[in-house]
Structures are given as structure tokens and as C-alpha cells.
């Protein structure tokens, strides 16, 4: 597909977000402040997010969604290969989510305000212990309030599309809360918006929800982390599996 076609696909997504996003924020933020209820703002935002993805020519396949338990807040842990992963994954989850995301995104006008009101959790890059503890505390509070958590445990996008190593933070959260983990394998997006590029190549993205992993079944954080990594690696296509085989 030509660069011109990719440019048009990108512009279509941006047009949807630029026209509909602020409108939802202008209506939804005051409504939420007035009613103290985030529900309309959250789902309207998810609708706009899905609309932008569809407008860009991306088709999303959903597999294994019957693995999501009902009545329990879960931690969705997904591999990360593209900036398209969050807007494709989060709206697909049938109940409300909080997302661990880069702190800088919370500074975007209107969007940042809406994400803050929606309970999204900023993550500060680096190795500051107090910042990591604050993130875990905020995520623990969100789970206790009934929200799912979406996290990309690799911490950053993989350049080559292959699954890389996980950060420990999400597994402190899982062990501390006991919330069930839903491993998620996402594929297709690694060719749609490559790291370092802002252009979108239309295509088919696949979200596969894998069977629940219960933190209580694992005696250590390391064993839990290995189990989640192995589950995601096994579900990914060969081109996305880790270079070093999972033990």
C-alpha cells in the first residue's frame, strides 16, 4: 500500500478524533461534574475511539472474549507493538477500564482532563521508587472500586514486533490485589503503525483474550510473571514470538 493511502488513512482517524473528541469532552466533562457519574463520558469516548479506528480502515477481530469473567475487576496484560494498541484494545473490553499510561498524555487539553476524570493512571518513566509506589497505590484503588486495569507490561513498544521482557510493577499490583489476570495477545498492529512512524497502514488487527491466570496460584511474583509471558508468547504468531524461547 502506498504512502499516500497510508496518509489518507491517518487523516481519516485524525479527522474523527479532532471533530468528535472535543465535542464529547465539551458535553461530557460538565455533565460528569454535574452528575458525579462518568458513565456517559467514558462510553462516548470509547465510541469515538472505535469510530476513528474504523475510519482509518482497520478491522478488529475479537477472539476468546468468553474468557473474561463476569463480576470481577481484572488486570488485562497485553503485548505492545504500536500506538494503535490502546485505541484498539480498550474500547473492546466490555466493562469500564482504567489504563496505566505515560504521564505526558494527561497534559493534553480536554483529553487529559477526561482521562483524569475517568480514573486513568499516569505512569512516570524512570526508576523513582516513590513514583512506582504511587502508581501501584492508584491502580489498587481503581481495582477496589470495580475498575479493570489495562497495562502493557513490556513498558514500551517493541521495535521488531516481538514480545520482550516484562517490567515487575504490574505483578506487584496483581499479587497485592489478587485480581485475576487476563493475558492478551494483540497482533497485526505491528505493521499498521510502526514505532517511529505516525502513518497508519489499514489492515486486520486481532485481539485474543487468553484464559484467566489467578495470582493466588503462584507462590512468587517471578513465577506469575513467567506464566503470563509464556501464555502471551504461545498465542502470538511466529513472527512476534520472543527470539529466546520461553521456558
Task: Note whether 45 and 108 are within 8 A (CB).
Answer: no
Residue-wise over 119-143: b if at least 16 C-beta within 10 A, else e?
Answer: bbbbbeeeeeeeebeebbebbbebb
User: Does residue 169 fall inside a structural domain?
Assistant: yes
User: Does residue 189 fall inside a structural domain?
Assistant: yes
* Domain encompassing residue 171: 59-240
CATH number for 196:
3.40.1130.10
User: Does residue 36 fall inside a structural domain?
Assistant: no
pLDDT, residue 69, reads 94
Rounded to two decimals, the pTM is: 0.91
The strand order across the sheet containing 181-187 reads 58-63, 203-209, 181-187, 75-78, 148-151, 97-102, 121-123
Q: Into how many domains does the chain fold?
A: 1
User: Does residue 15 fall inside a structural domain?
Assistant: no
pLDDT, residue 127, reads 59
User: Does residue 106 fall inside a structural domain?
Assistant: yes
pLDDT, residue 148, reads 95
pLDDT, residue 150, reads 94
User: Does residue 79 fall inside a structural domain?
Assistant: yes
- Tens digit of each residue's pLDDT, the chain (247 residues): 578 889 999 999 999 999 999 999 999 999 999 999 999 999 999 999 999 999 999 999 999 999 999 999 999 999 999 999 999 999 999 999 998 877 777 777 777 788 888 888 877 765 567 767 778 888 888 899 999 999 999 988 887 889 999 998 899 889 999 999 999 999 999 999 877 788 999 999 999 999 999 999 999 999 999 999 999 999 999 999 998 755 5
pLDDT, residue 140, reads 87
User: Does residue 16 fall inside a structural domain?
Assistant: no
Closest CA to 91 of 45, 28, 156: 45
Amino acid at each position: 500500500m502506498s504512502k499516500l493511502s497510508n496518509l489518507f488513512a491517518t487523516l481519516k482517524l485524525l479527522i474523527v478524533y479532532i471533530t468528535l473528541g472535543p465535542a464529547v469532552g465539551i458535553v461530557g466533562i460538565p455533565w460528569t461534574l454535574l452528575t458525579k457519574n462518568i458513565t456517559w463520558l467514558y462510553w462516548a469516548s470509547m465510541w469515538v475511539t472505535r469510530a476513528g479506528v474504523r475510519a482509518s480502515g482497520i478491522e478488529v477481530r475479537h477472539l476468546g472474549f468468553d474468557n473474561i469473567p463476569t463480576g470481577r475487576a481484572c488486570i488485562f496484560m497485553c503485548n505492545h507493538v504500536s500506538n494503535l494498541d490502546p485505541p484498539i484494545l480498550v474500547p473492546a473490553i466490555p466493562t469500564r477500564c482504567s489504563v496505566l499510561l505515560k504521564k505526558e498524555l494527561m497534559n493534553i487539553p480536554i483529553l487529559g482532563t477526561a482521562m483524569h476524570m475517568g480514573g486513568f493512571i499516569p505512569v512516570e518513566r524512570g526508576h523513582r521508587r516513590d513514583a512506582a509506589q504511587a502508581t501501584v497505590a492508584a491502580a489498587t484503588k481503581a481495582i477496589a472500586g470495580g475498575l479493570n486495569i489495562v497495562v502493557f507490561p513490556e513498558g514500551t513498544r517493541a521495535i521488531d514486533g516481538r514480545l520482550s521482557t516484562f517490567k515487575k510493577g504490574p505483578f506487584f499490583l496483581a499479587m497485592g490485589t489478587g485480581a485475576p489476570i487476563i493475558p492478551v495477545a494483540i497482533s497485526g498492529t505491528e505493521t499498521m503503525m510502526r514505532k517511529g512512524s505516525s502513518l497508519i497502514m489499514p489492515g486486520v488487527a486481532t485481539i485474543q483474550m487468553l484464559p484467566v491466570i489467578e495470582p493466588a496460584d503462584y507462590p512468587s511474583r517471578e513465577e506469575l510473571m513467567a506464566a503470563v509471558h509464556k501464555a502471551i508468547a504461545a498465542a502470538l504468531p511466529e513472527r512476534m514470538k520472543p527470539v529466546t524461547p520461553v521456558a
